[in-house]
């Protein structure tokens, strides 16, 4: 079962890569965690594991307004604008206030770049899948699907 | 005595939110203590930071319509709280403010209707319902009592919200961090419902001041 899903993921990725023009802007990815260290480290991990390709724009948005554990609307908004190349922005989050804050920012309408999307995916595995897909030239829907698929990679 | 046909203006809402900030400041330790039992012990300090930002922003901008005051305050809460209570209270105030529109004066009935829309938006955002041991367990009874009117609608709303918060003690949490505790969440008063009750106390105080 997992092999089959791996194969379909690889296929999607290859298709995304071959259909992508070289000049096509890449989907930006924002990683929101309650911890700055987690957000930034997961960003580095995902870019590192996608090595060998041109990377995708990835930013961590971790920690609260006071720099401690929590969620900062300002950091999320700034990170989303930073990675926005016009191809859309996929936002992955850990839990609780990270989920709620992104939902509220999306509902506001003008806080995030147009074509920003909250992706329902596990943060670490989803980030790796999203960065690999985006680096390979996938569009926003494909990046989101790759990240969401990470929920189904069973480990046992 | 106030009733629901009495009109409120931006000044009333300003006093309401200022009183809420003072009350959050006063009760911050209690809120954090309640949150340390079933959450992550930051509810008091988070709301304190959020409402301090609200008071600062209102001091600078002072909008002239009740709806605009609430929208500005909600925005401050979303950006400065840092925990789940920021987006939740921010949504409550913003959606209530949006529902009031740009009228300079609104009646208590209009406020009650707008708050009902705000509370529904909170329920939708958090995916929670009455009885889940959340802030909704104080907000819904408070709004219903306010909408029902009567000789002392704001006092009745305060009482209903207080009772709603107290009623969370025997509940088992089904949302948020507290839900991870399962059965162990029973026997503790919900910090979110407690802070929501403070909001109705502040409203009753602000209206009676007129």
Indicate the CATH number of A24-152 among 3.90.1150.10, 3.40.1280.10, 3.40.50.510, 3.30.450.40: 3.40.50.510
Phi first, then psi, for residue B6 (nearest 5°) are -60, 145
Residue A22's pLDDT is what? 54
Interchain CB contact of A65 with B (< 8 Å): yes
User: What length does chain B have?
Assistant: 210
- Cα B72 to Cα A33: distance, rounded to the nearest angstrom: 26
Report the C-alpha gap between B71 and B57 in whole angstroms: 11
B86: pLDDT strictly greater than 80: yes
Report DSSP state, residue A71. B
Confidence of residue A2 (pLDDT cuts 50, 70, 90): very low
CA atoms within 13 A on the CB side of B196: 35
ipTM: 0.92
Q: Over the stretch A81-116, which tens digit does the pLDDT of each residue have? A: 999 999 999 999 999 999 999 999 999 888 999 999
Which residue in chain B has the smallest CA separation from A35?
A: B82
DSSP three-state, residue B8: strand
Residue B1: is its pLDDT beyond 90? no
Domain residues of chain A, as ranges? 24-152
CB contact under 8 A, B82 and A103: no
Q: Which of A72, A73, A103 is closest, CB to CB, to B125? A: A103
The yes-or-no answer on residue A34 being catalytic is yes
Q: Which of B56, B58, B89, B84 minimizes the C-alpha distance to B72? A: B58
Q: What phi, psi does A91 have (nearest 5°)?
A: -110, 120
Residues of chain B whose beta carbon is less than 8 angstroms from a beta carbon of chain A are 42, 46, 49, 78-88, 90-91, 125-126, 176-177
A33 pLDDT more than 90 = yes
Average pLDDT over residues A48-77: 91
Contact of B5 with B200, CB cutoff 8 Å? no
Give percent above pLDDT 90 in chain B: 92
Pick from B79, B80, B83: CB nearest A97: B83
- The DSSP symbol for A76 reads H
Which residues have C-beta within 8 Å of that of residue B139, sequence separation ≥ 6? B92, B119, B122, B161, B164, B196
Are residues A73 and B79, on separate chains, in Cβ contact within 8 Å?
A: yes
Mean pLDDT of B170-180: 93
Chain A, 125 to 154: residues with Cβ < 8 Å from chain B are none
Instruction: Report the pLDDT value the prediction gives residue A6, as an integer from 0 to 100.
Output: 52
Residue A31, sorted as left (phi over 0), alpha (psi -120 to 50) or beta, turns out to be beta
| Residues in chain A, total | 156
**Strand A116-118 and strand B7-9: pairing?**
unpaired
- Identify from B32, B46, B52, B79 which residue to disrupt to test chain A contact, counting A C-beta atoms within 10 A and taking the largest count: B79
Rounded distance between C-alpha atoms, residue B161 and residue B119, angstroms: 13
* Residue A12: pLDDT band with limits 50, 70, 90: low
Mean pLDDT of B129-148: 97
- What is the helix (H) or strand (E) element at residue B38, kind and residue range? helix B10-38
Beta-carbon separation of B88 and A100 below 8 A? yes
Residue B32 pLDDT > 70, yes or no? yes
Within 8 A of A36 by CB-CB distance, chain B residues are none
The whole-number average pLDDT for the span A17-25 is 60
């Amino acid at each position: 079962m997992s092999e089959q899903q791996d194969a379909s993921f690889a296929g999607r990725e290859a298709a995304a890569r071959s259909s992508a023009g070289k000049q096509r802007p890449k989907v930006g990815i924002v990683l929101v965690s309650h911890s700055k260290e987690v957000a930034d480290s997961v960003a580095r991990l995902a870019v590192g594991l996608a090595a060998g390709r041109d990377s995708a724009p990835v930013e961590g948005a971790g920690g609260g307004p006071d720099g401690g554990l929590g969620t900062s609307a300002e950091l999320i908004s700034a990170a989303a604008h930073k990675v926005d190349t016009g191809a859309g922005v996929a936002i992955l989050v850990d839990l609780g206030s990270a989920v709620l804050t992104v939902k509220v920012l999306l509902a506001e309408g003008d806080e995030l770049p147009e074509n920003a999307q909250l992706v329902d995916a596990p943060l670490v595995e989803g980030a790796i899948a999203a960065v690999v897909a985006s680096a390979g030239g996938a569009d926003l829907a494909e990046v989101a699907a790759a990240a969401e698929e990470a929920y189904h990679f069973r480990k046992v | 005595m106030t009733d629901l046909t009495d009109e409120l203006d931006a000044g009333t809402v300003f006093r309401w939110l200022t009183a809420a900030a003072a009350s959050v400041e006063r009760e911050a330790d209690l809120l954090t203590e309640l949150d340390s039992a079933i959450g992550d012990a930051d509810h008091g300090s988070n709301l304190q930071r959020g409402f301090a930002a609200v008071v600062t922003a209102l001091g600078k901008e002072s909008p002239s319509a009740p709806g605009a005051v609430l929208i500005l305050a909600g925005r401050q809460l979303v950006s400065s709280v840092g925990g789940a209570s920021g987006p939740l209270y921010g949504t409550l105030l913003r959606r209530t403010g949006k529902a009031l529109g740009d009228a300079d004066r609104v009646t208590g009935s209009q406020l009650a209707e707008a708050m009902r829309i705000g509370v529904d938006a909170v329920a939708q955002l958090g995916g929670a319902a009455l009885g889940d041991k959340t802030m909704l367990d104080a907000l819904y009874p408070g709004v219903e009592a306010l909408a029902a009117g009567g000789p002392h609608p704001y006092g009745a709303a305060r009482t209903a919200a207080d009772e709603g918060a107290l009623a969370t003690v025997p509940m088992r949490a089904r949302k948020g961090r507290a839900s991870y505790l399962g059965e162990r969440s029973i026997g503790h008063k919900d910090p979110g419902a407690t802070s929501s009750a403070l909001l109705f106390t502040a409203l009753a105080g602000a209206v009676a001041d007129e």
